[in-house]
Amino acid sequence: MDQPFIFAIDDDPQVLRAITRDLRNQYRKDYRILSTTSAKEALEGLLELKNKGEVVAMFVSDQRMPEMEGIEFLCRAMNYFPNAKRVLLTAYADTDAAIKAINDVRLDYYLTKPWDPPEEKLYPILTDMLEDWRGNYRPNFKGIKVIGYSFSPKSHEIKEFLSGNLVPFQWLDANAEEAKKLTQINKIEAKDLPAIIFDDGTLLKAPAVRDIAARIGLNPAVKNELYDVVIIGAGPAGLAASVYGSSEGLKTLLIERKAPGGQAGTSSRIENYLGFPAGLSGADLTRRAITQSTRFGTDIISPQSVKEIKTKDQYKILVLEDGTEVTTKSIVITTGVDYRQLTTPGIEKFTGAGIYYGAAMTEAASCKDANVYIVGGGNSAGQAAMYLSKFARQVFILIRKESLAATMSSYLIDQIDGVSNITLMPCSEIKEAKGETRLQQLVIENLDNNETQTVDADALYIFIGARPYTDWLCKNIIKNDKGFVETGRDLNSCVDFDKIWHNNRDPYLLETSIPGIFAAGDVRAGAMNRVASAVGEGSMAISFVHKYLNEI
């Protein structure tokens, strides 16, 4: 594509010259730099750029300008380039306004003047935002195209896989004109859908996820090596463990059965994660973590499941789904939790065809002008409601309790209260899902008076419960009655612990009932169920891995 623009606006000519100079010194190879002292002139220029099909990647605007304040300019500029990054230049006295703008206009960052030296105070910040912009920007697409039916479970599975693994793709509904042309040219029949067309023109018809992974190089062959630590599960805890393991010199393998990021990776926006005042998406957090982990040398295999763990002397042997075996000295289990499956009549029938567990970002485009229902009262449900409200006609949040106060962060409740097309339905429960080939209606019961109503529903997103992914673990790894892995001191109160544990020391804090096998994050009994705590546990687990490795 043609080089995108970085647009700088400041009414002070001296400051404008300085920011323009610094932007050109660092970014002129990849971006065109525009600058002006007039906010009104800038808006006129944006209209011209838009009409020419140009793209603006970032706005850098001063706050105090005579024609309009910087926040107002950034709001109006979003009408032309809504995906551009927004940076506000402020004096120290204006920081309160800038912080307010983070919530009100989704400001990405504010910089206090002066920013010298730019190598420390300007470039790292802008570069990170520009990389994020490039990662999410979709020009006239020349990459992978996925053709299928919008309410097909198989299409949903493929979209979830590609987006979860941060693979850019263009979705084309089979009924759209471009899709019809492509299916005709490539002789794709209805039975071949979903189909994938790659940028080199090659084609996969009705592929399995594993076939796609092999085609795009996501699932490399397991190396015939002895690992110091194998981490099972690439959610926040697993990614943190892989970063610390590899960075501290351990030969590290990370195995993920679906897509990196876990439940957090599907979040449209995490706003209370330390160090990100403007918030960040789960996909962005995952991208950063994977980049860190691979930079330190972690081997990553995805999608791949571990179906069995065996022990032999001091070694652990993992048997993968395809029969491959991996040998390691230690293991960290970070498989996290899945959303609890609803057994309500009709739910299973329409899963992937209007009913989704998580997946708010993947299917959001199909919710344009739709009536969308969300089940769940936690932060994941709230974040999904905020995101889907940008597309849907109306979003309804169904909870069994009387309010969200006990289950959702207060900042998120406040945001939801401020959105006109989000409606809370307390004391409510779904009794049935109806439709023909896709979800069309929901039967909802009011738990206060037991009255039911049938409503039209285009989509239902489920964010309830926490079922640990531990059914595959051997019996010698002790779990509680809900399936969460017991660790550390809590093992001493477990009935079978003395029969299993044969070491002359007590288990380390995050160690399971088998020496050298650890658990961290949401899969562990007693975990805090927060992204930050999962990251902390994942990194902490590696310190205990070091202690264990020093013993053997």
Structural domain contains residue 44: yes
Say how many residues make up the chain.
552
Which residue carries 């008076």 as its tokens?
449
pLDDT band, residue 239 (cuts 50/70/90):
very high
Q: Are residues 371 and 439 in the same domain?
A: yes
pLDDT at 248 over 80: yes
Of 87-101, 106-120, 436-450, 494-508, minimum mean pLDDT range? 87-101
Residues 263, 281, 288, 362: is their CA dihedral positive or negative?
Answer: positive
Share of the chain above pLDDT 70, in %: 98
Q: Are strands 355-357 and 459-462 parallel, antiparallel or unpaired?
A: parallel
Q: Among candidates 157, 144, 172, which has minimal Cα distance to 359?
A: 157
The mean predicted confidence, pLDDT, of the chain is 91
pLDDT at 102 over 80: no
Q: Which residues contact 543 (CB under 8 A, 6 or more apart)?
A: none
Which residue carries 């490539």 as its tokens?
186
Q: Which residues contact 15 (CB under 8 A, 6 or more apart)?
A: 62, 89, 113
Q: What is residue 224's predicted lDDT score, i.e. its pLDDT?
A: 80
pLDDT band, residue 101 (cuts 50/70/90):
confident
Helix (H, G, I), strand (E, B) or coil at 76: helix
Structural domain contains residue 38: yes
Amino acid identity at 399: I
DSSP 321-376: TTS-EEEES-EEE---EEPPPP-STTTTTTBTTTEEES-HHHHGGGGTT-EEEEE-
pLDDT at 9 over 90: yes
pLDDT at 200 over 80: no
pLDDT band, residue 93 (cuts 50/70/90):
low
Side-chain-side CA neighbours of 79 within 13 Å: the count stands at 9
Q: What is residue 375's predicted lDDT score, i.e. its pLDDT?
A: 97
Cα gap 490→505, rounded to integer Å:
14
For residue 87 the two structure tokens come to: 């940076």
Last residue of a domain, one of 136, 157, 176: 136
* Region for 379 from its dihedrals, namely left if φ exceeds 0, alpha if ψ lies in -120 to 50, beta otherwise: alpha
Q: Are residues 330 and 477 in the same domain?
A: yes
What residues make up the domain containing 199? Answer: 144-211
CATH of residue 302: 3.50.50.60
Q: Are residues 309 and 239 in the same domain?
A: yes
Would you call 372 exposed, middle or buried from its count of C-beta atoms within 10 A (0-12, 13-18, 19+)?
Answer: buried
Q: Are residues 293 and 435 in the same domain?
A: no
Q: How many domains does the chain have?
A: 4
Q: Are strands 428-435 and 422-425 parallel, antiparallel or unpaired?
A: unpaired
For residue 115 the two structure tokens come to: 């920013």
Per-residue pLDDT reduced to its tens digit, 391-420: 999 999 999 999 999 999 999 999 999 999
Structural domain contains residue 348: no
Per-residue pLDDT reduced to its tens digit, 118-174: 999 899 999 999 998 987 776 656 678 999 998 899 999 999 899 888 888 989 999
Q: What is residue 2's predicted lDDT score, i.e. its pLDDT?
A: 77
Q: Which residues contact 329 (CB under 8 A, 6 or more apart)?
A: 226, 227, 228, 229, 314, 315, 316, 516, 549, 552
Per-residue pLDDT reduced to its tens digit, 333-346: 999 998 888 889 99
Q: Are residues 435 and 501 in the same domain?
A: no
Within 10 Å of residue 198's Cβ, how many Cβ atoms? Answer: 15
Q: Are residues 15 and 110 in the same domain?
A: yes
Averaged pLDDT for residues 22-30: 95
CATH of residue 151: 3.40.30.10
Q: Are residues 477 and 387 in the same domain?
A: no
Last residue of a domain, one of 211, 239, 256: 211
- Helices (H), ranges, 186-311: 209-215, 236-247, 262-265, 282-295
Q: Among candidates 459, 425, 427, 426, which has minimal Cα distance to 442?
A: 459
pLDDT at 325 over 90: yes
Q: Are residues 332 and 473 in the same domain?
A: yes
Structural domain contains residue 121: yes
Cα gap 463→465, rounded to integer Å:
7
Q: What is residue 269's predicted lDDT score, i.e. its pLDDT?
A: 83
Cα gap 551→51, rounded to integer Å:
68
Q: What is residue 168's predicted lDDT score, i.e. its pLDDT?
A: 86
Q: Are residues 101 and 150 in the same domain?
A: no
Q: Are residues 116 and 23 in the same domain?
A: yes
Q: What is residue 489's predicted lDDT score, i.e. its pLDDT?
A: 94
Last residue of a domain, one of 136, 170, 194: 136
pLDDT band, residue 318 (cuts 50/70/90):
very high
Structural domain contains residue 349: no
Averaged pLDDT for residues 435-458: 96
Cα gap 97→385, rounded to integer Å:
26
Helix axes of 123-136 and 282-295: crossing angle, nearest 10 degrees: 110
Helix (H, G, I), strand (E, B) or coil at 220: coil
Q: What is residue 142's predicted lDDT score, i.e. its pLDDT?
A: 63
Q: Are residues 128 and 150 in the same domain?
A: no
Q: Are residues 499 and 382 in the same domain?
A: no
